[in-house]
Amino acid sequence: MNYFHLTVYLFSFFLGSIPFGILVARVFKIQNLRSQGSGNIGATNVSRVGGFWPAGFLTFVLDAGKGALSVFLTSPLAFKFWVKFFDIDDTNVDPYYAWCSGFFSVLGHCFSPWLFMKGGKGVSTALGVFLVLSPVSAGVAVLAFIYVFLTQRIVSLASLVSIFLATISFVVLNSPGMAIFPVIGITFIVVLRHEHNLHSLIQGVEKKFPILLLILAFSSSLEAREIFDSTQTRIHIVDVPQRVVTLVPSLGELAADLLGENQDRIVGVSEFTDYPPRLKRISSIGPYSKFNIEKVVTLKPDLVLATMDGNSQEQVLHLRELKIPVVVVDTRSLLKIEESISLVSEALGQADQGKKILQRFNETISKIKSRAQARKPKRVLMQISGYPIIVAGGKTFLNDLIELVGSRNIYAGSESSYPRPSIEDILDKNPDVILMFDSVGRAWQNFPKLQAVRDQNVKKLDPDVLLRPTLRILNGLLLLEKAIYGNS
């Protein structure tokens, strides 16, 4: 080995260390690659987070390409060019040196100095090395990966089997000589980077990919359009989704309003989705707070609708890892509800119907605002639950509704969206009106000094028309007006 080889090895290491996954993610505006999926920069995780086509495919080609290029530099074909620049002779042409270049390329990919020695898992880069130096072994690796992946649906297992079989086939079909050492070194690095996966495989908890959804995700991506949801995540969805799952009752209701006669496109809803009544007959995926991911997967949705404040972020990310398009909406204020109607209508391919609903929504809001201007504001307590006492705070759409009809929420200044005040604090604030959503309101009669009790302004409201941010909230606003101001 001489300075020529040292130069090539250094070049191979730094070429391998280029984090193409990060660069591709930036080009395609894929956010939080290092904090989603497995957190790695390789083609598999890019595919999980941003889709196989084109981001995942391009990452695979670039990662494999840097492995192939690194070994090509010391191949016999490239050697004749190097003799013009380096004082070397034919003894430098040896497969051992090419395999060493490949080893350093894989090493750079797995322990990239640009990422504080944290990189990918090296499978694509190792495949590029084998592709140039042992095409037959590369072919064995590809076939092994495809077979294991299709039968077991586990990417890590398919990767490990393919690298082992590539190494074994190389040893069997060739006289490796000294090249056996860098080849084993490549295999060792790849296995080392899969240490966590090995533990999960042994424990039987390694995640699987549903094949049908993977095929659907790939085929859909060719015809897909892109939208940005309320989390500013770019989502690829088909033009007109045919299998829709909603993860909270309000989104089931909103989707039904938007789809009209095409409500049969809704194939899954969350527990307690009961309006319109037809949705009661649709498959349930469990409670919105912890829905059944396996049930969602079996429904094979091409669109899932979720909320920021109702569904688990971890579960939403899990669905996205499975290449299921999830559009998340924010309904924490009246303005956000309006935006969510527009976003859901766009996601469903029902933009025109969404515009009609929004027109009706805004017209009703304008009329209520006009009436509110002539009213004297009343101090309102909106009680969500009785034991413990939970009330609506200022960071909720319920607070917006109270203000819209011309009143003031006595807990509008709370830092919590749904504070839990003491009885003493409520007595001190002494609301003019108490609104509640359950039957515990009779307990307020034990506090006759409350202004709301003296004026008989303790009222019960229908939770379905006010607590669900859907089009029925317009009816809820009329009931809210009547509850606070009577028939005036």
pLDDT in tens, 43-95: 887 876 666 778 889 999 999 999 999 988 777 667 666 666 666 655 556 78
pLDDT of residue 222: 44
Q: What does the buried/exposed string (b/e) look like for 232-256 if buried means 16 or more CB atoms within 10 Å of the residue's CB?
A: ebebbbbeebebbbbbbbbbbbbbb
pLDDT of residue 152: 87
pLDDT in tens, 391-413: 999 989 999 999 999 999 999 99
DSSP sequence for 132-173: HH-HHHHHHHHHHHHHHHHHH--HHHHHHHHHHHHHHHHHHH
pLDDT of residue 49: 66
pLDDT of residue 128: 95
pLDDT in tens, 334-359: 899 999 999 999 999 999 999 999 99
- CA–CA distance, 289 with 270 (Å, rounded to integer): 9
Q: How is the chain split into domains, by residue range? A: 3-203, 223-358, 375-485
Helix (H) or strand (E) segment spanning residue 110: helix 95-110
Domains 223-358 and 375-485 share a fold: yes
Residues in the chain with pLDDT < 70? Answer: 1-2, 31-32, 35-38, 48-51, 76-77, 79-93, 208-224, 438-442, 488
pLDDT of residue 217: 47
**What is the third-level CATH fold of 375-485?**
Rossmann fold (3.40.50)
Which CATH superfamily does the domain covering 223-358 fall into? Nitrogenase molybdenum iron protein domain (3.40.50.1980)
pLDDT of residue 5: 75
